[in-house]
């Protein structure tokens, strides 16, 4: 079954970092780009960035540049999103999704709740 399975919920202190994983059960992982999208409480969807593993390239949205690192491990078909210097307004559900650039997101992970609290 084609699916994206994310790591579990996290509670972090302000100023720390969090790393969320997303394992893909898809054929030819490297053919696709995988994006990270978040939704803060009461807010809309916000694209953070994407990884194109076949090109070894990650694109990060301007708002997150310098704080977000997106990587991929083709051997395990897993993509990772690490967010540093966490603030309370980073509290959100983080989704991985297949797609990015001009293409649609046709497959979503189940979401990972990251809570930033002192």
Partner 1 sequence: QSVLTQPPSVSGAPGQRATISCTGSSSNIGAGYDVHWYQHLPGTVPKLLIYGTTHRPSGVPDRFSGSKSATSASLAVTGLQAEDEADYYCHSYDDSLSAVVFGGGTKLTVL
Residues 6 or more apart in contact with residue 102 via CB below 8 angstroms: none
Closest distance of CB 5 from partner 1, Å: 12
- The neighbouring-strand residues paired with 22 are 6, 79
Closest distance of CB 71 from partner 1, Å: 18
Rounded CA gap, 38 and 25, in Å?
Answer: 21
Closest distance of CB 10 from partner 1, Å: 18
Question: For residues 37 and 72, which CB has a smaller minimum distance to partner 1 in the complex?
Answer: 37
Question: For residues 14 and 57, which CB has a smaller minimum distance to partner 1 in the complex?
Answer: 57
Residues binding partner 1 (CB under 8 A): 35, 37, 44-47, 50, 59, 61-62, 95, 97, 100-106, 108-111
Residue 63 phi, psi dihedral angles, 5° rounding: -60, -30
Q: What angle do CA 39, 58, 35 make, to 5 degrees?
A: 30
Rounded CA gap, 14 and 75, in Å?
Answer: 33
Closest distance of CB 3 from partner 1, Å: 11
Question: For residues 10 and 59, which CB has a smaller minimum distance to partner 1 in the complex?
Answer: 59
């Amino acid at each position: 079954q084609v699916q994206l399975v994310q790591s579990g919920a996290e509670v972090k202190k302000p100023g720390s970092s969090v790393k969320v994983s997303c394992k893909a059960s898809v054929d030819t992982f490297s053919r696709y780009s995988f994006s990270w999208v978040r939704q803060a409480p009461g807010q809309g969807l916000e694209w953070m960035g994407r990884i194109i593993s076949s090109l070894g390239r990650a694109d990060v949205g301007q708002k997150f540049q310098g704080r977000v690192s997106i990587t991929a491990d083709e051997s395990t078909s897993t993509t990772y999103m690490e967010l540093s210097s966490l603030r309370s307004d980073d509290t959100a559900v983080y989704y991985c999704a297949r797609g990015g650039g001009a293409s649609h997101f046709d497959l979503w992970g189940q979401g990972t709740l990251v809570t930033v609290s002192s």
